[in-house]
Chains A and B, each alone.
Chain A
Amino acid sequence: MSNESDRAAIYEHRDAYNGTLREGDLEGWLATLSDDCVFLPPAMPAVKGKDAVRQWAKESFFDPFDSELEYDFEELEFSGSSAFGWGWYRHTLTPKDGSEVVQLRGKFLDIFRREDDDQWILARVSFSTDHE
């Protein structure tokens, strides 16, 4: 694959990641991640492996909130079948119980991996929240 098509594929991945989150499709969202994925969220220990990520995401985002996530890359670099990127995100969390909407924004640092079927998946994610 060329750099251009790899880049396009990463942006398609972003659309799938955001779309499944917005639709509340937990399993669809998990399909955008590697089985050994690791999340490094703010103010908590690392979340390691898809099963742990499933439980964390279900309890933290999918069950209590409707989510709207926007993010974009400031940098995206490819090396063989891997890539890294960092950028900013805005995450709007609307509680399903009708309480006040939560707006988060911050930065992320992602590691992507290209699978044998040429699909890009997210393997490592660190993200932080901005203090304003």
Chain B
Amino acid sequence: MDQPLAAATGATPPRPAGGRTLHRFANPGRFLRATGKLMPMLWGAALVVLGIGLVWGLLLSPPDWQQGETVRIMYVHVPMAWLAMGGYTGLAVLSVMSLIWRHPLADLTARELSPVGAAATALCLATGSLWGKPMWGTWWVWDARLTSVLVLFFLWLGHAALVRAFDDPERGARAGAILALVGIVNVPIVKFSVDWWNTLHQPASVTRLNAPGMHVDILYPLLVCALGFSLLFGAVVLARTRAAVMERRVRALQLARARREDAVPA
């Protein structure tokens, strides 16, 4: 493990065989330099793609013959649902990296990912309610899809709270990783809930590639918005991770300074 990393994180994970590439970016200086170049491009791409998606979805795409203008909520609701599930799968991958390779950057990224994932899931639920009231006549029903997404939201919140509940960040990261891996079972339940049970929520329409369930006038702006929100999600998580790496470095330096001052004889 690189010395600057040990200084920054206080962690001393063993370097596994074959983990050289994986641990290359565990060096905080290298990570900050590499992502520093990437960040402006990521923010720029997110804003441009979202701008196009917003204009297309709000102004250029036609209203649905049944849903009317309310169909435009789908351009934010569906990307949030995909990010909630995809992000949680990413959290599980980071948890595997954390538990097997003890990768400190995986711990930090997971810690910074969970509040953003919780926000995306909350937005999925909120925009779904805002769509449901005019379309179904109710804000909420306890059907399998809505309930499993609510469970996913609680899993995100639980992870965010658990990793911050320990004085020792490594213990918090380990507990959070176990929770994330247990909770991953809920992701296929969310995905297939509309097939396994009778739900008020409609079945999958975008992912039926052999028989697309929506017209291209609605499908294309939806895909552009999904790409834009994915880029924005990635940019926010990366920006939070960069800030967290620097905060750990600050804490390590403050600790080193306090130790030096204690060592000086009065």
Answer yes or no: do A and B interact: no
